[in-house]
Amino acid sequence: TPYRISDCEQLQNINQVLDAYFVLANDIDCSDTTNWNGGAGFLPLADYDLPFTGELDGDHHKITNLFIDTNEGDGDSGGRQIGSSDNQVGLVKDLGLENVNISGGWSTGGLAGRLYGQANNTYTTGTVNGTGELGGLVGSHGGVWDTVIDSWSSATVTGDSDAVGGLVGYNAQDSQIINSYATGNVTGGDDRVGGLVGINSG
């Protein structure tokens, strides 16, 4: 039986139960996150030590106007972490994030800063800014079984280092991107910048 998410406050509270099953009950407007946490906005879900290992089913709904500013410069990370290198589970599916405004350091993405699980039928629009390993959908995508499938991004992506991509910043060895695309403008501060992927080893 999933937790049903119907507003942005409930979405933020996913941080309290990172291994559970969630489903969106409706479209969610997160415009007020520009006023949250002293200007930092929505707090990224999960992190390197406590990744999201549950399931978030968007049920074909969308989250709009999500604002995140980690203000960490070279820090890590401006997005969420799904799964871990040791536990490659965690799924986000059938979900759109429209008009995001996300700023962070390394490993920043419109949907996930780091993905070691799966993003299935997801998309992002808006702007994503950061340093490196930066993507419109996923910043760093690394693991034997993790997959981006049937997903896309039209987000404008702006980084000041390398591994900057319209969809995925860094796609690691054995990681897969299937039936997915990106259409946003991409700017990086170094080499290894791409319309789809900044660095691809998978």
pTM beyond 0.85, yes or no: yes
Alpha carbons 135 and 107: distance in angstroms, whole number: 8
Query: How many Å separate Cα 42 from the centre of its chain?
Result: 13
Residue 15 pLDDT > 50, yes or no?
yes
Residue 87 pLDDT > 80, yes or no?
no
Alpha carbons 82 and 79: distance in angstroms, whole number: 10
Residue 167 burial (CB count, 10 A): 31
Average pLDDT over residues 58-81: 79
Predicted local distance difference test score (pLDDT) of residue 74:
47
146-162: pLDDT as tens digits: 789 999 999 999 999 88
Among 150, 67, 56, 140, which Cα is nearest to 102's? 67
β-bridge pairing 164-165 and 138-141 = unpaired
Residue 95: which residues within 8 A CB-CB, separation 6 or more? 24, 56, 57, 58, 61, 62, 63, 111, 121, 122
Please provide the DSSP assignment of 133-166 as one string: SEESSEEEE-SSS-EEES-EE--EEEESSS-EES
